[in-house]
Every structure is written in C-alpha cells, then in structure tokens.
C-alpha cells in the first residue's frame, strides 16, 4: 500500500511539472507573438506631426526626442543649422518620446502640443529646450505669456491634458520601433541612434540629394 501511494504521489508531481511547463510555454509564446506583431521598422508621418520645411523636400528627418534629454537639446541646434543650410531640401518632423523616468518630459510635450493648437508649437518647443533645466508648469505659463497665447485656452488644454493622446501616440510608435535612446533620427527612414554631428548629417543629406 505504501508503494502505491508513492506511485500516485510521483505521478501527481510529474503531472504538475508538465502542466506548469505547458502554461509557461504558452505565456512565452504569447509574449513573443505580441512583440513581433507590434514591431515596425519605419515611422509614419501624418498631418498631426509638427514639421518644418517643405513637404516636397528630398530629405525627411524624423526626430524622436525628449525635452529633458541633453543630447536632444544639442540635436535641435544641429537640425536648425542643417535646415538653414538646406532650406529647400530638408524637412524636419518632431516625434515625442518622453522618458518615463523624466518627471516633466511628458508634461512639457503636452504643453508644447497645446501651444501647437494655437499655431505656436515650434516657438514653444524651442523655448522649452532653451530652458531645459527649469521645466515646470510655471515655465509653461511664462512661455505662453511670452508667445501671447490665449491664456485661458492654453491653461485649460494643459490642465485637462487635451493633447496627451498626440504625445502618447508617438511614444507608442517609438516603442513599436524598439527605440533604445533619444534622440533617434530617421533620415529617409534610415535609423541613427543618439546625437549625430552636423558634418555627418550634411554628408548624408548631400548624398541623398546627389543620388539619381
């Protein structure tokens, strides 16, 4: 009888192990499938994405950035110079990629998009980077006053996070692209992770322009 119970116990343990292995296998399979299904290789550009430069430009640079990222601030200056050097050939598109570990990055992105509702996105955007170490609701109000935005409309937009879906959409896009850092540029869909210096970007742009 004792051996019988040992046999039953052994069968039960083996059955439990097999069941756990089966459940774990399904879980891993589902996780891998989910990642594969949502991964993309190039960004999309739509009318809701802030852009500078002609839509007919030969070179489109999509910039995923974060308002608290120091490298992103440097990248903005580089891209501004690039646009001055190639005004007819380069288009810059901004995508919000706020780092969750940065306390004010998403709030700043929402505020910039609210300024965009009054056609002042880029002016607000530039002033955020110029005051990167002072990001706060007070700063957003001061910038709005400097840009002469309709204060009540702007304040309501920020307080209600009305533009959050726009910010979150590009953040989710960045996750789907499996971005590992900001800034990340896509130059005509070619990915460049991290800050790219001006001379390198100029060489890339000239190469694209010269291509048949």
Q: What is the pLDDT along the chain (212 residues), one digit of tens a residue?
A: 444 444 444 444 444 433 333 333 323 222 222 234 568 999 999 999 999 999 999 999 999 999 999 999 999 999 999 999 999 999 999 999 999 999 999 999 999 999 999 999 999 999 999 999 999 999 999 999 999 999 999 999 999 999 999 999 999 999 999 999 999 999 999 999 999 999 999 999 999 999 98
Listed residue (177, 175, 196, 189) closest to 99, CA to CA: 175
pLDDT of residue 38: 67
Listed residue (188, 181, 178) closest to 75, CA to CA: 181
For residue 184, the tally of other CB atoms under 10 A from its CB is 24
Say how far residue 116 (Cα) sits from the centre of its chain: 17
Domain ranges, ordered by start, for the chain: 1-38, 51-210
Query: Please, which residues have CB within 8 angstroms of residue 208's CB and are 6 or more apart in sequence?
Result: 58, 59, 187, 188
List the CATH code of the domain at 51-210: 3.40.30.10
pLDDT of residue 37: 57
C-alpha distances in Å from residue 80, one per residue of 122, 126, 172: 11, 10, 26
Separation between Cα atoms, residue 105 and residue 67, nearest integer Å: 5
* Phi, psi of 162, rounded to the nearest 5 degrees: -65, -30
């Amino acid at each position: 009888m004792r051996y019988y119970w040992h046999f039953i116990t052994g069968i039960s343990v083996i059955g439990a192990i097999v069941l756990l292995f089966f459940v774990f296998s399904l879980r891993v399979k589902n996780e891998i499938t989910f990642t594969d299904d949502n991964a993309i290789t190039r960004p999309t550009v739509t009318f809701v994405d802030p852009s500078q430069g002609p839509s007919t430009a030969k070179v489109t640079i999509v910039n995923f950035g974060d308002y608290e990222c120091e490298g992103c601030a440097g990248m903005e200056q580089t891209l501004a110079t690039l646009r001055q050097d190639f005004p007819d050939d380069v288009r810059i598109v901004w995508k919000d990629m706020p780092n969750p570990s940065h306390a004010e990055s998403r709030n700043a992105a929402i505020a910039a998009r609210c300024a965009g509702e009054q056609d002042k996105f880029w002016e607000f955007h530039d002033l955020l980077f110029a005051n990167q170490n002072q990001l706060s609701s007070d700063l957003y109000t001061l910038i709005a006053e400097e840009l002469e935005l309709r204060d009540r409309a702007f304040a309501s937009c920020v307080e209600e996070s009305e533009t959050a879906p726009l910010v979150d959409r590009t953040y989710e896009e960045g996750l789907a692209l499996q971005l590992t850092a900001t800034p990340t540029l896509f130059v005509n869909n070619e990915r460049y992770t991290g800050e790219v210096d001006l001379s390198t970007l100029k060489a890339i742009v000239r190469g694209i322009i010269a291509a048949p």
